[in-house]
Structure 1
Amino acid sequence: MDSVSQIALGAALSVGVMGRRTAVWKAALWGGIAGTLPDLDAIINHGDPILNMVRHRAESHSLLYLTLLSPFLGWGLARLQGNMTLWKRWTLAFWLALFTHPLLDVMTVYGTRLLLPLTDYPYGVGSIFIIDPLYTVPLLIGLGAALVLKSVRGLRWNWVGLALSTLYLVWGIAAQAYVTKLAQASLKESGIQAERLLVNPTAFNSVLWRMVAMTPDAYYEGFRSLLDEKKQITWRQYPRCDALARFATSNAGVAAIAKFSHGFYSLGQQDGRLTVTDLRMGQEPYYFFRFDVSNENVARAVGQRPDIATALPWLWTRLTGHDVPLPAADHAGRSIQDVQLERCGYSIKNRGDEIDSGAGKTR
């Protein structure tokens, strides 16, 4: 999750644990610091953008390592403040702030290695977007009340904020399960035999969901809003560019993205150079994590971000249940499929198909 959410969660938990045993602002300050501490690994430069990506949320997000660190932080702060009677309380406050950081991160799709050193598997539920105001605002309101009121009533508001934010996480899991069931039924109806399916929310909300289905030679992207009236899901097909796989058989960058993305990746070419894209974060044709891997030694980030002035209005319109076209054509006005096919080195006339699961036909 974003830093604001992690700071707010750590601060709220610390205030809840410490109660009136210390000043509320002190509990909030140290809890907020602990809440963002694991993300300091982001400042480490491994000399390669792919390594920077896949090594984020690693050792610093290990539940075991963070648990071992907590008593030292609790003892150190109690010693610093000259009140050793509170070291166990501070240890618990630090542990909760640190321990919940990777647990919250794992709810996003990115990938968190929270079970190191037992396994380096990057876990990611994908039931909440990395920035979601509906999760963060209750925490901030409850924490703000605790800081302003400085009373038992304020502490109760803090617990209410924690409860509401937790319930929102539960809602996200339930909504994801519901949309996943709809997507699986739609794929079956459309005759798409998917090897794997990804379902995660679009930016800043848990109402509009993006789905990616992988097949041996293509991937399909679809969107489903909980406010949609029609049951059909429109799947847009894009080539995986497997013809380029022979150029990537021994490419370390491609292998790293393939593993980290759990197979949700595609190959391409840009100006004659091999690229690899993590399909989990972004939407066609804009992806945050696309890399030029032509140089075997050092990759180069070539990801794109959408135009906010266009993307946000589309997001709101689609979220409210209106099936509008994607805000994604290149500067020459070509379709997304044409641009992707060109990246694969195919002719534009060999276009990708658009499948409407309710129409029972390919168009």
Structure 2
Amino acid sequence: MAGGLFCSSGGCTAKLGPDILERVLSRIERGAPDKNLLVGFDSSDDAAVYRVSDDVAVVQTLDFFPPMLEDPYVFGQIAATNALSDVYAMGGEVISALNIVCFPQDEDLNVLGEIMRGGSEKVVEAGAVLCGGHSINDKDVKYGLSVNGVVHPDRIYKNNGGQAGDVLILTKKLGVGIMNTANRVGAASKEAMAEAIVSMTTLNKYAAAISKRYTVHACTDVTGFSFLGHLHEMLDKRLWAVVDTLSIPYIKEAYTHAENFMITAAGQRNRNHVGSFVDFKGVPFPLEEILFDPQTSGGLLFAVPQEEGKALLQELKEAGLPAQIVGRMIQPGDAGFQKEITVL
């Protein structure tokens, strides 16, 4: 394509800011309550869940965005991996998907074919069926999936079910938003960018499958609203959290780029939205930025009982995932902490 695929706000950095979404959603007419709607948008969860029988609930989600890098095949893989993740974050299994495509029809259709090939391969890897989709002629490229999954109504992973004393386990490295920004201006090394791509194309299927052998009180996937933004949603105005920066997994080169102020506008929106809830204790600025960095196809963030945390972590590591215990949930005001999230 002339000018390539590239978009200045590709991936999850293209999301509307969380404060904007809150204002809009608060004005939407909800309609009559439905006892079978088990998860809607009241708790800013990752997907909707609707019960269809005593044993089966349908998980519904969709996600699409502009490219964050030039390779159409890899972009398709990343976009599909990101869309599929919401089902895993709810504890579900993916069963089917539909393509969502925006593409300029007078451009090279081989590029579109590569995008959809990358997406299709990830749907197949997830064990699901790609059933079709919808496309529109647009001046900018966008791609993603509408995804259906299933979960037992009694085994849903909600994002706000955490308990005081739970440890927090993150399954992927942070910093991919910063790396995509650096890559756009030619500042990212091939090695670090390859690390980011591996992370963004790794299905959360594998972490989710391991987690089902343990007690998971809450789960979310860390995407455009950043680690701290999604943690804020998990705490649900009931709990506080303490985060240990020494344990945070992140792409090391992202720290250098953040140190040089190569950061995203979406990261600054995240800081503006949730920063007042966070107390940084001697944390260097680049690491603050990594914690506010919008993640594209980020990892799962589990809240599990402390006594099960180490065993779950060990299994995740044995599966080759860069998981770490990154903090814990506490009662508000415990240990003299002053804000909802304390970062040490």
- So what's the TM-score if we normalise by structure 2? 0.27
Identify the structure with the greater helix proportion. Answer: 1
Structure of greater relative contact order (alpha carbons < 8 Å, 6+ residues apart): 2
Of Structure 1 and Structure 2, the greater strand share is in 2
TM-score (norm 1): 0.26
